[in-house]
Amino acid sequence: MMARFYVGVGALALWAGLAQADGHQPFAVGEGDFTWDSYTEFAEKYDLTGQTVEITGPWTGNEKEKVDKAFSYFASATGATVNYSGSDSFEQDIVISARSGSAPNLAVFPQPGLAADLASQGLLTPLPDGTADWIRDNYAAGQSWVDLGTYADADGVDQMYGIFYRVDVKSLVWYSPIAFDESGYDIPETMEELKELTDLIVEDGGTPWCIGLGSGAATGWPATDWVEEMMLRTQSPEDYDAWVSNEMKFDDPKVVAAMEEFGYFALNDAYVDGGASAVANTDFRDSPSGLFSIPPRCYMHRQASFIPAFFPEGTVLGEDVDFFYFPAYAEKDLGKPVLGAGTVFAITNPSEATNAFIEFLKTPIAHELWMAQGGFLTPHAGVNTDTYLEDSLRAQGDILLNATTFRFDGSDLMPGEIGAGAFWSGMVDYTTGAPAAEVAKGIQDRWDAIQ
């Protein structure tokens, strides 16, 4: 506890001192916590006095405050000015500015699909030579991040356009440590063990899972995450990519089998709080509440890292609730795949200072400066994970660093009519009685119709 305390205090003092600094040297409080060598080595390479880097992205409010603090160290190191502007309508704004020739130097895309679209229109500039090799060597599951940042240019040639900075983890199962301890349950390390635990809880008279798909007009999306998780745990990463791009059809037996893997948990009345019929009608924000009831209405809830925002007020992470990695099948030997999302930097208006900023993003301290403020995860293998603000973030960061494969949320990469339409509604149909093969064919028919 003491070490974490000093990380936080050091960071706060560092930022307070920055306001009094001369703009070129950081207020060096917290040495030993942050990887200052990476900052010093970077600063020695660049003098960009008088140059400016304009950046736009989706971070606003509190997130903008955090990123401004982190990016101010690029200015301190180089003498350049960094101007970051966040927008709630980023996706529309960046398309307009890029097509009109008025784009900033860098854009932070919350989904790689939009970056790929702009690259195909010749509106992005490839990253500096060697970036792909650097990512392979320095990011956990490096090839995954290279793949996610590589898009076809206007001539159809694949090039490296994107470098990821700040990501989210979805492959989490939330549970009550108190309930597990009282029942003598161990954390499952494989999918086989997770299924055994599910049956054991039922044998003991409990209900293993809380699952809810309700989300207003977006009802159904939580089930798409389940299917994506199951695709990564039953099929190869290449098959996952082919499915997301529609090279593998939605009604392929491999996809149908992944849907039925979700159904193994969701369609068994004994496995789900309220029974299978409650799955489609339970709001995803309410579904984890069963973890906190006495006695618990459920013991596990699969959901992304954001779900604590909907836990009861006063919930203490690590005590009242915790999480473990949603495991893979040991028998399938597919490693430890992780599903998630994240933001990707791409060059929309090149310059010397812009290339330098990409190099800054490669330094551990560029990540640690936000890690210490909270709300940030990174696959950068060179960071000091002690700088994470909270134990829960550190544990999620470890899941990222131990991943053998990372894949972006598939529905977010599909055309909107599919990923945010037919896929959502199709999963509701599946949980309310439609056969998986029939649902999958309907989604594929819709995909064929829009091409």
* pLDDT tens string 380-429: 999 999 999 999 999 999 999 999 999 999 999 999 999 999 999 999 99
Contact in structure between 162 and 346 (CB atoms under 8 Å): yes
Instruction: Quickly count: other Cβ atoms within 10 Å of residue 229's Cβ.
Output: 24
d(CA 403, CA 406): 7
The alpha carbon dihedral of 330, 175, 281, 198 has a sign of positive
Tokens 């700088």 label which residue?
387
Please give the average pLDDT of every successive group of 10 residues along the chain, which has 451 residues. Answer: 29 40 39 84 98 97 96 97 96 96 97 95 97 98 97 97 97 97 98 98 98 96 98 98 98 98 98 97 97 97 96 96 98 97 97 98 97 96 95 96 97 95 98 98 97 80
CB-based contacts of 385: which residues, under 8 Å, 6+ apart?
Answer: 371, 394, 397, 398, 401
Contact in structure between 202 and 270 (CB atoms under 8 Å): yes
Tell me whether residue 310 is exposed, middle or buried, using C-beta atoms within 10 angstroms of its C-beta: 0 to 12, 13 to 18, 19 or more. Answer: middle
d(CA 308, CA 316): 10
The alpha carbon dihedral of 272, 274, 279, 282 has a sign of negative
Instruction: Quickly count: other Cβ atoms within 10 Å of residue 327's Cβ.
Output: 19
Predicted pLDDT at 23: 42
CB-based contacts of 333: which residues, under 8 Å, 6+ apart?
Answer: none
Contact in structure between 385 and 141 (CB atoms under 8 Å): no
Tokens 């933001």 label which residue?
343
In the chain, what are the domains?
2-169+340-408 (3.40.190.10), 172-337+412-450 (3.40.190.10)
Predicted pLDDT at 5: 25
Q: Which two tokens stand for residue 165?
A: 């900075």
Predicted pLDDT at 30: 41
Predicted pLDDT at 14: 45
The alpha carbon dihedral of 110, 266, 400, 332 has a sign of negative
Predicted pLDDT at 33: 85
DSSP sequence for 308-346:
GGGSPTT--BTTTBEEEE-PPPTTTT---EEEEEEEEEE
Q: Which is nearest to 376 in space by CA: 67, 12, 57?
A: 67
Residue range 287-303, pLDDT digits in tens: 999 999 999 999 999 99
Tokens 């339970």 label which residue?
282
Predicted pLDDT at 265: 98
Measured between alpha carbons, how far is residue 59 from residues 85, 86, 109, 196, 285 in Å? Answer: 8, 5, 10, 42, 23
Amino acid at 195: K
Task: Give helix 61-78 / helix 352-361 axis angle, nearest 10°.
Answer: 110
Predicted pLDDT at 451: 80
d(CA 214, CA 197): 26
